[in-house]
Amino acid sequence: MQAAGLGREKIVDMFDSYILTTLKLDRNGNVISTNVAVTFDIHDAEAHRDKSVENDFETFAVSDNWREDAEQSNLVKAMREFREMVRQWQEEALR
C-alpha cells in the first residue's frame, strides 16, 4: 500500500491502545471499573495489571486513519439528526 503517493510503503494500518482500569467502590458500595490512563505500550499495560489485583487493562485496535473515521461518524450523526428534523417537519405538516 502506497502512503499518500510518496512512493513509500505504508507499514501500519492499525495500532493497539491499552485503557488501564482499576476497580473501586462507589458511594453505594458497588464495585465499579474506572479508566485511569491510556498507553500504547503493552509492557506498561501489563506492569499496571501486575501492580495490584484490582488493576487490569482493555485493548482496542485503532485505525491509522482514525481522524477520517471520526469525521465519517460525525457526518453520519449529522445526517441522522437532519433525518429526524425532516421527520418532525413532515409530521407537523400532516397535522
pLDDT per residue as tens digits for the range 28-54: 999 999 999 999 999 999 999 999 999
pLDDT greater at residue 49 or residue 77: 49
Measured CA distances, 61 to 14, 29, 43, 76, 95 (Å) = 6, 33, 16, 21, 49
Provide mean pLDDT across the span 1-6: 50
pLDDT band, very low/low/confident/very high, at 8 (cuts 50, 70, 90): low
Q: What is the DSSP letter of 12?
A: -
73 has pLDDT over 90: no
Least confident of 2-11, 41-50, 79-88: 2-11
DSSP H helices in the chain = 42-51, 66-94
What pTM was estimated for this model as a whole? 0.55
Residue 11: is its pLDDT beyond 70? no
